[in-house]
Structure 1
Amino acid sequence: MAKTFADFKYLTFDVVGTLIDFEAGLKDCLAGIAREAGVAVDGEEALTLYRAARYSPDADLFPDDLARVYLAIAPKLGLPAERPYGERLRDSARNWKGFADSAEAMARLAGRYKLIAMTNARRWAFDHFSRALGNPFYAAFTADDTGTEKPDPAFFEKVFAFIAAEGGAKGDILHVAQSQYHDIGISRKLGLTNCWIERRHAQKGYGGTIEPAEFTKPDFHFTSMAALADAVEKANAA
């Protein structure tokens, strides 16, 4: 029998890409560097290059790895391949914004569920992201806390253990994310109910997120966080 929104006690969230608009943050920073260099940068091309560079064998934790990524993609974009610019891209994460609907939707959901962040970002960056979202989280797990990154099942196991210690179980969790690769596919394999927030529904391709080997049909599917919050409120009002 399919689950309803009333069946969950916890909503677990991917943060970067689902709640925080990292693609806009990356493009804005690169555009600023490009203006100073007197060149033009195509944002979608930059995301494609970023995706390829980000998922290389020598990748570091996110967003620290952006300093390395910048040096890898700068020559292909006609940008100065100098370390200070890479550090500038890394540090831009401190100012990345939430999607326009994120903070308001999270505030609404926090009135009904315990919200748990599950992010591949390091703790220093997550702290900025959380503030941008209005600090809605009951608990948070970062790459620093888990020692790994999604889609590694070990990341999820850390969260399962936390919830089990409170007397909860997998069946109490709805996992919410935009990344098919990092979240939706693995959450299905681990037996979670999931909700896909298709942020790029009006755009082609996967942007800055790695393409999954196969598409996983989610249990719930929305194109915004606002739509999820609306659906939750409608279900609870019925």
Structure 2
Amino acid sequence: MSKSLLGFKYLTFDVVGTLIDFEAGIKNCLGGIGAEAGVSVDGEEALALYRAARYTDHADLFPDDLVRVYSIIAPKLGLPTGVEYGERLRDSAARWAGFPDSKDAMARLAKRYKLIAMTNARRWAFTHFSTELGDPFYASFTADDTKTEKPDPAFFHHVFDFVGREGGSKDDILHVAQSQYHDIGISRQLGMTNCWIQRRHAQKGYGGTIEPAQFTEPDFHFHSMAELADAVDAATA
């Protein structure tokens, strides 16, 4: 590890899955629809079906794509079909909660670093996510801004260009994320220092996130945002 946690000016963040608990949001919404229909929904099965339906060549931007995804997974889960249910799943994103440690950790980290959001979600959804997190971000990049999604290197280059205009470089950035597929692997390929927040450390599999072709050993590894903030506080003391 070439740098300490105090050697960065910027922290860039994946948002959905790292700071916002989208898996719980999806499971809660589907469970609510199921309860109304008298159907029991297995959360992990629902996430596996979501993952298979979400990552296709026909996908729309997130979370708008949840309307299409619902139409695919609902029959397999025994849930009622109809566009209104898909829209309900999509619209539930506005109420998804952050992980219990996210808001406090981000407030602590914002005292030392410039925090930049990098999310595959659309701007409308990110606005709700940022509010849920206490609006901690110095800058933000969404799929609407970049016209692409991670792990496309082009997404990251938008951020590099932004930091460059401030006189910095990617060496000044620590990229923080839970997704090996969308963030950790590509950030390594692009020469960034990264920090893996292993949110599913106590669970098997990758849940709602696509499994990477190969695992990338991160530069820093924590199980939560609280652990990262604690490590920064300890290094500062």
Q: What TM-score does the superposition give when structure 1 sets the normalisation length?
A: 0.99
| Deviation string, structure 1 residues 40-62 (Cα, Å, up to 9, x no partner) | 00000000000000001100000
Q: Give the deviation of 1:81 after TM superposition.
A: 1.4
SS at match of 2:221: strand
SS at match of 1:208: coil
SS at match of 1:100: coil
Q: Give the deviation of 1:6 after TM superposition.
A: 1.5
Give the match for residue 176 of structure 2.
176
Return 5+ residue gaps in structure 2 as ranges: none
Q: How does 1:209-228 map to 2 (within 5 A)?
A: 209-228=209-228
Give the match for residue 114 of structure 1.
114
SS at match of 1:71: helix
**Matched residues, percent identical?**
78
SS at match of 2:44: helix
| Deviation string, structure 1 residues 189-222 (Cα, Å, up to 9, x no partner) | 0000000000000000000000000000000000
Structure 1 counterpart of 2:155, which letter?
A: F
Q: How does 1:51-90 map to 2 (within 5 A)?
A: 51-90=51-90
Return 5+ residue gaps in structure 1 as ranges: none
Structure 2 counterpart of 1:198, which letter?
A: Q
> For the residues of structure 2 that align with 1:218 and 1:153, how far apart are their CA atoms?
18
Dislocated runs of 4+, deviation >4 Å? none
SS at match of 1:164: helix
RMSD: 0.5
> For the residues of structure 1 that align with 2:236 and 2:175, how far apart are their CA atoms?
19
> For the residues of structure 1 that align with 2:149 and 2:179, how far apart are their CA atoms?
13
> For the residues of structure 1 that align with 2:215 and 2:135, how far apart are their CA atoms?
32
SS at match of 1:116: strand
Give the match for residue 101 of structure 2.
101
Corresponding pairs, count: 237
> For the residues of structure 2 that align with 1:178 and 1:230, how far apart are their CA atoms?
18
